[in-house]
Amino acid sequence: METYRNYINGEWVESRSAKTAPNLNPADPKDGIGTIRLSTADEVRAAIEAAERALPKWRSTPAPERGRIIARAQQALARRKDEVAQALTREEGKLLKESLGEVQKSINILEFMAGEAMRLAGETLPSELPNTFCYTLRQPIGVVAAITPWNFPVAIPCWKTSPALAAGCTVVFKPATLTPASAKLVVECFVEAGVPAGVLNLVYGAGGEVGRVIVEHPAVRAISFTGSNDVGMRLAQDGVAQGKKMQCEMGGKNPVVVLEDADLELAAEGIAQGAFGSTGQRCTATSRVVVMEAVADRLVAMIAARAPAEIGPVVDESQLKTVLGGIAEAKREGAKLVAGGGRGPGAGWFVQPTVFDHVKPSMKLAQEELFGPVLAVLRVRSFEEAMEVANGVKYGLTSSIYSGDPARIFRFVEGIETGMTHVNSPTIGGEPQLPFGGMKATGLGTREMGRTAIDFYTELKTVYVDYTGRKRESNIY
C-alpha cells in the first residue's frame, strides 16, 4: 500500500504527521489502496511559502510559455489516460467508461486553457482627453488555493489549476482525502511538463485543518473551492473577512421539466443518464423531474425501466448511510417508491438506482441534495406551475426542459434560475470552452471554465498614457 506524499517546492515529501486516513476501494472496502498522512499546519504553511517565493519569477514568465507547460501537461495526461482512469475507478468508484470520460474531459480542459495563455487580453478604449491612450491589462492575483472534492478528482483540479497557472498565479492544491491517488497523478503530469519548483504544490490533509491555515495565511490572495454548501459558506465568510477573493461552487438540486408535447423516449433516456450516471454523485446530476400530469404515468414507467443494472458504488460508508437515510426519509414522508430503494449487490457501498413518484415540493427529497442515484418525480398541471416548482429550491446550478414548443422553451430558458440549462438533453455535462457555475446558493464568485475562468485569477489594471508632453490646462477628473 502506498503512502501518499505532499509535493512542496518541487519535491515529493512525506508528511511527518501521525494522523492518517485510509484510501479504500468503495466497490470492495477490503481492498486497501494506500494511506494518507494528514498534513500538519506547518507543512501547509511551507507549501504556501514555497508558492509565495516562486511567484515573482512565474508571473514574469511570458504567458505563452506558461501555456506551453500546460500543453505538455495535457500531453502527459493523454499518454497516461488509461492509468489515470483505472486509478480513479479504483479509489472513487466510477465505472471505467465514466472514468475514461472524466480523464478525456480533463485533457480537453488543459488543451483549451493552454491556448488561453496566448489570449490574456485586455482592451483599448478611447479617452475623453486628447492625446491620451487608454487600455486595460490582466495581472495575476498572486498565490491561490484550490480545494477540490472527491467526485471529479481529476477534472476539477485541472479546471482550477490550469487557469491559475495560465494567469501567472502560483497554486497550493488541497484535494479530497478520499481520492489522493488521482490528485497525485494530476500533479505528476504537471511535474513531467516542467512546472517550476514552488509553482504548483500539493498538500493532503483534513479540510478543517488545511482550510484554516489557508484562510489565515496572508500570502494566499484567493481561494477556489468546490464542495458542500455548509463548508463552502463557512470558508467564504472566513476568507472574505481576511480580505481574500473567494470562488465557491457548491450544491445542486437540478430539475428536468417535461411538458406534455415532449418526446418521452428522449426525455426518459436523458433523465436516466442524468440521474444514475456516476451514481448520481455529481453536482449537475438530475435529482428532480417536474412533469405534466398528462404524461407522468408513462414517463415514470419509462424511467424506471431504464434504471441501469450496473452502476458504481457511492464513495464511502458515510455517503452510503446518507443516501439510504434519504431514501428512508422519503418513504416516511409518503413519496411513492417506484424502483430501487435499497442496497445494491456486492460487498461494496452500492445503492440501487431509485425512483420516487408523487413527491411533493415541500418534501426533503425535493429540497435537499442527496448526492446519490435517487430521483424525485414531481407532478404539475401547467407550465406556470412547472416553473414555480423548478425554481422552488435554494440551489441554481443546472436544469433541462424537454418540449417541442419554441415559445415555452424560450420562456423556460429566460425564467429558470440556474447558471446553465439544456434543451432536450440531460442536465449533466459542460464543455471546456463554456462557463460553468450556478446561481443562488449554488455559486459564489465568478464562473469556472471557459474564457471567464481567467477572471477569478487575475486583477484588471487600467492604464492612462498621456502623450501631450505638457501640463494640461484643466482636468475635471
Enter the pTM of the model: 0.95
Question: Which is nearest to 375 in space by CA: 289, 438, 436?
Answer: 289
Tell me what the mean pLDDT of segment 357-384 comes to: 98
Residue with grid cell 438530475, as numbered in its chain: 286
Confidence of residue 471 (pLDDT cuts 50, 70, 90): confident
- The predicted structure's pLDDT at residue 346: 86
Q: How far is CA 195 from CA 45, 49, 56, 72, 189, in A?
A: 20, 17, 14, 10, 9
Strands (E), 193-275: 200-202, 220-226, 245-249, 254-258
In the residue annotation, 249 being an active-site residue is answered as yes
Domain positions in the chain are 2-250+442-462, 254-423
Q: Is the pLDDT of residue 477 over 60?
A: no
Catalytic residue among 52, 189, 283, 448: 283
Catalytic residue among 43, 249, 369, 448: 249
Question: Which is nearest to 266 in space by CA: 450, 402, 77, 98?
Answer: 402
Fold (CATH) for 254-423: Aldehyde Dehydrogenase; Chain A, domain 2 (3.40.309)
Query: Over the stretch 254-285, which tens digit does the pLDDT of each residue have?
Result: 999 999 999 999 999 999 999 999 999 999 99
2-250+442-462 shares its CATH topology with 254-423: no
Q: How far is CA 411 from CA 109, 336, 393, 401, in A?
A: 32, 31, 19, 11
Fold (CATH) for 2-250+442-462: Aldehyde Dehydrogenase; Chain A, domain 1 (3.40.605)
CA distance 323 to 5: 32
The residue type found at 300 is V
Query: Over the stretch 128-164, which tens digit does the pLDDT of each residue have?
Result: 999 999 999 999 999 999 999 999 999 999 999 999 9
In the residue annotation, 283 being an active-site residue is answered as yes
CB 32 within 8 A of CB 2: no
